[in-house]
Structure 1
Amino acid sequence: MTQVDPGAESRAEAGDGAEKPWAVFRQDKPGGYHTHCGDVEAPSAADAEQAAIAAFTDDDPNSLWVVQHQYIGEVTEDDVSFGGTTNKSYRFAQTYNVDPAAEEVEASESEQIEAEKQRGEI
């Protein structure tokens, strides 16, 4: 994936070959996901960048990325088993043993009250 550089001059790789399909992605937010916003036809990455800027720059051209379609793949449930049988009972509060912590909190509160009494704050 090539991040589009709107200020880039024409690069040496630009231009002479056959046009290839390029997918254009826009970054949702800084550090976020990229969403496919369309396609361009261009012979090189530099030409694809310029075509993407021309076609899809509404606001911030730095949020655009281009990638050749031949390098895009899709993972489906046929390729990978999603989900599973992992025991996730640790997520439910009823599986936690909170009694030891409750006893610790109660003891700590008692110690704090006793210390306040000794300092004359109560």
Structure 2
Amino acid sequence: MASKHEEDMRRPDLIVPYQEPPAKGDSAEFQSTLSSTLPMAAIFMRNRYIGWAAVVFSVQSWLGESEETRKSNSTPGYFSVGMSLMSLIVTYLPIFLPPQPNLQRGSATGAPPPAPA
């Protein structure tokens, strides 16, 4: 019976060391874009659901930052989180500070009120 060393046909000189494949930057770039544009959409549309989505995306983007992304991005992750929290505050602001009632008696499309004699 053959020994264990004779059965092993591998050659140490043919071993290729493992090299990690380069990371794809598309998903990080897309997430960064979402985390910076969703707060603006929430502010303009005054939509609370978009505001909450902005908070979730920005926190996720901030926690998923790598050293390479920090160097390449001009906006830090905590700035996106702050902007999304600000958009959430803006969307909930009418609850705490209701808008002032309109003081004009007539409407823009109706006839003007009669002038005093």
Asked whether the two chains share a fold, i.e. TM above 0.5, the reply is no
TM-score band w.r.t. shorter chain: under 0.3
TM-score (norm 2): 0.26
Structure with higher strand content: 1
